[in-house]
């Protein structure tokens, strides 16, 4: 079974992000409405987290909580410096080409509950759901990443109380594993990243050459 295609730009015509879409507050997980089921915590995109850690002098692998606590206790001079750095970061990204897929969080949660595999292909710029999702992206230069494995879903679905709230952290962890594995083999990970915008999970990466 294949879900409806998410809105996505193709590698040949990547979407260019505007500065207003790249402000720090846009990446923070907003307080959710009671019906949404998404936890009101903050999860920064991987690329932004690394940038902020560098600017704040934290360890390169600092967690979201570490960075936010550091910023919360920083003096005004440091905060002003950080604000200028974020504006430069936003401006730089706004002039770079990025590919984006936007998928409702509920789609991930429902697939997880059904034990349905979820695969993102960086070449095809789409997210597919179903038993054949991975097989569909084994040729023609496809670069697939499994965001939900069928066997893992079936095991975890019976133990989690709120699969919707688990989605952002679970997907980000898989993205981090993908990046680490690609790097370990000397392969490009295309700065693959993810973050929550409203009720949608945004997956973004640099266009494949």
Q: Has residue 203 got a pLDDT over 70?
A: yes
Is 172:49 a contact under the CB 8 Å cutoff? no
**According to the model, what pLDDT value does residue 33 have?**
35
Give domain status of residue 171, yes or no. yes
**According to the model, what pLDDT value does residue 149 have?**
72
Is 82:56 a contact under the CB 8 Å cutoff? yes
Q: What digits encode the pLDDT tens for the residues 20-59? A: 333 444 444 333 333 444 444 557 889 988 888 888 787 8
Size (the chain), residues: 209
Q: Average the pLDDT over 156-182 and give the result.
A: 82
CA separation for the pair 125, 120 (Å, rounded):
7
Q: Has residue 120 got a pLDDT over 90?
A: yes
**According to the model, what pLDDT value does residue 129 have?**
92
Q: Has residue 118 got a pLDDT over 90?
A: yes
Q: Average the pLDDT over 154-164 and give the result.
A: 60
Give domain status of residue 28, yes or no. yes
Q: Average the pLDDT over 136-144 and give the result.
A: 89
Contacts of 11 (CB under 8 A, 6+ apart): 99, 123, 125, 207, 208
Give domain status of residue 151, yes or no. yes
Task: Lowest mean pLDDT of 113-117, 146-150, 157-161, name the range.
Answer: 157-161
CA separation for the pair 68, 194 (Å, rounded):
18
Give domain status of residue 48, yes or no. yes
Give domain status of residue 98, yes or no. yes
Query: What is the pairing mode between strands 144-148 and 118-121?
Result: antiparallel
pTM: 0.74
Count of domains for the chain: 1
CA separation for the pair 140, 125 (Å, rounded):
13
Give domain status of residue 155, yes or no. yes
Give domain status of residue 186, yes or no. yes
**According to the model, what pLDDT value does residue 8 have?**
39
Give domain status of residue 2, yes or no. no
Q: Average the pLDDT over 185-209 and give the result.
A: 94
**According to the model, what pLDDT value does residue 156 have?**
53
**According to the model, what pLDDT value does residue 42 have?**
58
Q: Has residue 207 got a pLDDT over 60?
A: yes
Q: Average the pLDDT over 91-113 and give the result.
A: 92
State what percent of residues in the chain have pLDDT above 70: 74
Query: Helix, strand, or coil here: 116?
Result: coil
Q: Residue 115's closest CA among 128, 126, 130?
A: 130
CA separation for the pair 7, 103 (Å, rounded):
8
Q: Residue 117's closest CA among 143, 153, 93?
A: 153
Contacts of 101 (CB under 8 A, 6+ apart): 6, 7, 8, 120, 125, 126, 127, 202, 203, 204
Q: Which ranges of 58-145 does DSSP label H, i.e. alpha helix?
A: 64-72, 76-94, 105-114
Q: Determine the structural domain holding residue 162 and report its residue range.
A: 7-205
State what percent of residues in the chain have pLDDT above 90: 35
């Amino acid at each position: 079974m294949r879900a409806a295609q998410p809105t996505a730009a193709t590698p040949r015509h990547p979407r260019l992000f505007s500065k207003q879409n790249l402000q720090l507050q846009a990446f923070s997980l907003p307080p959710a409405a009671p019906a949404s089921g998404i936890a009101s915590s903050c999860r920064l995109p991987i690329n932004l987290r690394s940038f902020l850690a560098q600017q704040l002098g934290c360890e390169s692998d600092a967690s979201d909580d570490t960075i936010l606590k550091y910023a919360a206790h920083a003096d005004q001079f440091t905060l002003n410096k950080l604000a200028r750095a974020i504006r430069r970061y936003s401006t730089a990204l706004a002039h770079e080409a990025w590919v984006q897929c936007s998928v409702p969080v509920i789609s991930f949660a429902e697939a997880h509950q059904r034990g349905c595999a979820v695969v993102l292909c960086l070449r095809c710029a789409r997210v597919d759901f179903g038993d054949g999702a991975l097989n569909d992206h084994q040729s023609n230069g496809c670069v697939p990443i499994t965001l939900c494995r069928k066997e893992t879903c079936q095991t975890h679905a019976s133990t989690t109380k709120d699969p919707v709230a688990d989605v952002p952290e679970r997907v980000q962890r898989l993205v981090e594993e993908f990046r680490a594995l690609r790097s370990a083999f000397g392969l490009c990970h295309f700065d693959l990243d993810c973050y929550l915008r409203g009720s949608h999970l945004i997956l973004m990466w640099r266009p494949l050459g």
